[in-house]
Amino acid sequence: QKEVEQDPGPLSVPEGAIVSLNCTYSNSAFQYFMWYRQYSRKGPELLMYTYSSGNKEDGRFTAQVDKSSKYISLFIRDSQPSDSATYLCAMTTLNTGNQFYFGTGTSLTVIP
């Protein structure tokens, strides 16, 4: 069993839709949870990170962490064509020296 599971999609939505991206994980020691966005043939770039459980909002993006269910989500409101990319979840523990565990990524296309 992989430590982090993510539905690869692909996901295709119309412009303006609300997008929900999700990951599950198995290691209860994970404390930091990140969402990266990766455009085609580019390196991943950090969108948001959260510590432990709870919600965090940044503009059109909201990250949610439910540690009791080992489940994290990223919501994108009013999706734009420029949001079309692959979204990767990642997580790490407090003391692994910053070793990140990534999901396989979900490919999102926002249709104008």
Partner 1 sequence: DSGVTQTPKHLITATGQRVTLRCSPRSGDLSVYWYQQSLDQGLQFLIHYYNGEERAKGNILERFSAQQFPDLHSELNLSSLELGDSALYFCASSDWRASGYNEQFFGPGTRLTVL
Given the rule CB under 8 A, which residues bind partner 1? 6, 32, 36, 41-46, 49, 51, 88, 90, 92, 94-105
Shortest separation between residue 83's beta carbon and partner 1, angstroms = 19
Q: Which is nearer to partner 1, 76 or 103 (CB)?
A: 103
Shortest separation between residue 84's beta carbon and partner 1, angstroms = 18
Q: What is the 3-state secondary structure (H, E, C) of the chain?
A: CCCEEECCCCEEEECCCCEEEEEEECCCCCCEEEEEEECCCCCCEEEEEEECCEEEEECCEEEEEECCCCEEEEEECCCCHHHCEEEEEEEECCCCCCCCEECCCEEEEEEC
